[in-house]
Structure 1
């Protein structure tokens, strides 16, 4: 199948995509040397490794670039590494031949581990099922066992107070275990962090979509507890985490702040809007020191319709031209799935589209977008008109654009849908 392309009335967008696509594909290591797994670089450019956190976040862009084999191989490799001896934590990093990276691993009870990654792997793997419809994401025994254990045995092994949420030791030492992805705040360690809860919530919802109400009910209980107890009305924000003395910390937590909104844990009402105002202000006053952290921000703001803010931080990533692999992979994802607002359900032969184009972009087209076995051309004009062409596929694809009803598009067919104009925010 031809590779993904992007065209726009905005030359900046086209140039950004061309750079990101070329750079991301240059990080592919499949068959680069004897014994290499199907893989791509995911971590520091100076380290020939792939890291769990990075792979989780790069997988969306990797799919769009045709790297489904790499996604499956790497995510399954992490799943296989979560053993009882490691109290169901997956290993943090591997070399491209599949060997554990000794830099981050000294033994089964002494290796880098962060609670959010446990749930992130489940969420992002099942997200790949949404994109591909590939039954292996559900049927592979290592992955299937990992999904269940991440929300069952892992939680049981690390939930000392019985509230259904795992705790970290709170030492600030990532070799002992961290509650958060935010490694910049080791001087103020947490035992529970909002990003850990948020990704547990996301994993449970993803499992609930496939396996029933029990997982959804657990996700709802976690969210209800968070909304009821982690909010400070006077400050107008949610806490970033719980400290070793079990008090809530309402300070600025970078990932431990914004990932809660990225997964929907903070809801969609007035409190969430106040919290996002706080996040936006803090990003200007105290931005993260690492480019990796910025790569989440477009997804945070696209989710809640703050499209100009998402575009502001997407431009920051693009302008950095940073060689950290996560930047190029996520730029591909944000420019296509983010700006076009794509939510696939390949197994159900369905795709939902909701424009997030900012004022700077009047037209955007992504060609050869792969959803399951369907090869698509998706074009948007402003925030009101979408045209979808199904180049090929196993049958009709049901496409829903914004507030318009669903339409069925047969292979070789095109549908043009106009919805009420919505203002960019």
Structure 2
């Protein structure tokens, strides 16, 4: 367990963090019963299980709380469940002892499966490598094999038209396989969904990432993965956009592109960067903001992605609006407490780590409500940090301890290299609030 602590001039933030930290740690199941994997609850509170989608989304909050062993054990367990007999889909859910959750599994040809989860596991696992620098995320044979299978064998097994994009059957039955995380999508079942495409793109980008080159793939493979990601993005931005509507399609059905409100199949697109930047993306974000006010999702856990979406694109007041919604709910769905920890620390402070390269990027996303935010004992690999931001004017970084120098890029103020035991204060480094 970590010693992560948050202080702020806004008592609301401190209270929210205290609640989220306590509640998230109460979901840990590692020592709750004999035979349990290192694990935490990730799914409905009424179901003693961990689900792939939930683990993927809870992993950053879990890391910040010191649950790296749990992240590794659970994601590796999903990786091991991807077999040729299951056409390279990972299973959807397990009990804490590692046994298959029968509720979602009736056999190798009839189990709940959603295309986005296949790529989400690769994307979020490699993100944990960025946070921890732990080479097991790269060297573990089950994980290394899974990363490549997710973007190679899985795609080949489900790509009926040879365009490099896997398709779902389009039946609307989760036990046949769904294209999207949006399970409230009864109108017209999709065969390709925006969120599946976005997470495919994100997995390829993670495997092809230049910084921290040693990700278990060679240079030629990295270049090929990046080329594929660029092709997916170009196809999406060029052909999935409707200029008159000012938005991207939520997905492709057997009837063609579908432009109705798609919830996850819409907002995971900008969360991963698939929609890029510029005028199209800004109009699309305007559409998302409008629809979220008019037709918000029915389930609280769906909201837990929204701060990440809007922080990424500098819409910090919108991110804060939805983060407050999560905080005020005090909902007992585990995803809420874990992601509140993530958004309060990594989101508001704008942390993007690359521990394997001894590198951290920081860019304040503090809204007008927060004049000061400090997070102490933030772990980036083996470095233990305190990061304090004062509005948009300054950031102070203290390296309590670490294996050597840490390079820190702060907003537009440039790069600092900090030795353990040193503190740096950077002023006037961030954009003005928009």
Aligned to 1:153: 153
The answer as to 2:64 corresponding to 1:73 is no
1:29-44 aligned at under 5 Å gives the runs: 29-44=29-44
CA distance in structure 1 between the partners assigned to 2:104 and 2:341 by the alignment: 29
The gaps in structure 2 that reach 5 residues or longer are none
Contact 1:355–1:384 (CA under 8 A) maintained in structure 2: no
Shift of 1:405: 1.4
Contact 2:39–2:70 (CA under 8 A) maintained in structure 1: yes
Alignment RMSD, CA only? Answer: 0.8
CA distance in structure 1 between the partners assigned to 2:280 and 2:430 by the alignment: 26
Aligned to 1:135: 135
1:367 to 357, 362, 376: 376
Shift of 1:2: 5.3
Contact 2:112–2:177 (CA under 8 A) maintained in structure 1: yes
CA distance in structure 2 between the partners assigned to 1:364 and 1:155 by the alignment: 43
1:70-109 aligned at under 5 Å gives the runs: 70-109=70-109
Contact 1:401–1:419 (CA under 8 A) maintained in structure 2: no
Contact 2:364–2:430 (CA under 8 A) maintained in structure 1: no
Shift of 1:31: 1.3
Deviations 1:317-338 (A, max 9, x none): 0000000000000000000000
Shift of 1:214: 1.1
Deviating above 2 A after TM superposition, structure 1's stretches of 4 or more consecutive aligned residues are 419-423
Instruction: Name the SS of the counterpart of 1:107 in structure 2.
Output: coil
Shift of 1:96: 0.2
Shift of 1:420: 4.5
Shift of 1:288: 0.2
CA distance in structure 2 between the partners assigned to 1:155 and 1:391 by the alignment: 45
Contact 1:301–1:309 (CA under 8 A) maintained in structure 2: yes
Contact 1:172–1:187 (CA under 8 A) maintained in structure 2: no
- Distance change >3 Å, CA 103–CA 2, structure 1 → 2: closer
Aligned to 1:244: 254
The answer as to 2:239 corresponding to 1:220 is no
Deviations 1:306-349 (A, max 9, x none): 00000000000000000000000000000000000000000000
Instruction: Name the SS of the counterpart of 1:184 in structure 2.
Output: coil
Instruction: Name the SS of the counterpart of 1:17 in structure 2.
Output: helix
Aligned to 2:240: 230
Shift of 1:114: 0.2
Shift of 1:93: 0.1
Aligned to 2:303: 294
Shift of 1:423: 2.2
CA distance in structure 2 between the partners assigned to 1:126 and 1:329 by the alignment: 19
CA distance in structure 1 between the partners assigned to 2:310 and 2:157 by the alignment: 34
Contact 2:385–2:398 (CA under 8 A) maintained in structure 1: yes
Instruction: Name the SS of the counterpart of 1:170 in structure 2.
Output: coil
CA distance in structure 1 between the partners assigned to 2:360 and 2:427 by the alignment: 16
CA distance in structure 2 between the partners assigned to 1:414 and 1:20 by the alignment: 28
CA distance in structure 2 between the partners assigned to 1:68 and 1:125 by the alignment: 11
The gaps in structure 1 that reach 5 residues or longer are none
- Distance change >3 Å, CA 208–CA 2, structure 1 → 2: closer
CA distance in structure 1 between the partners assigned to 2:247 and 2:239 by the alignment: 11
The answer as to 2:125 corresponding to 1:125 is yes
Aligned to 1:336: 345
Q: What TM-score, normalized by structure 1, do the two folds share?
A: 0.99
Contact 2:2–2:66 (CA under 8 A) maintained in structure 1: no
- Distance change >3 Å, CA 134–CA 225, structure 1 → 2: same
- Distance change >3 Å, CA 2–CA 75, structure 1 → 2: closer
CA distance in structure 1 between the partners assigned to 2:285 and 2:370 by the alignment: 24
Shift of 1:418: 1.1
Shift of 1:187: 3.4
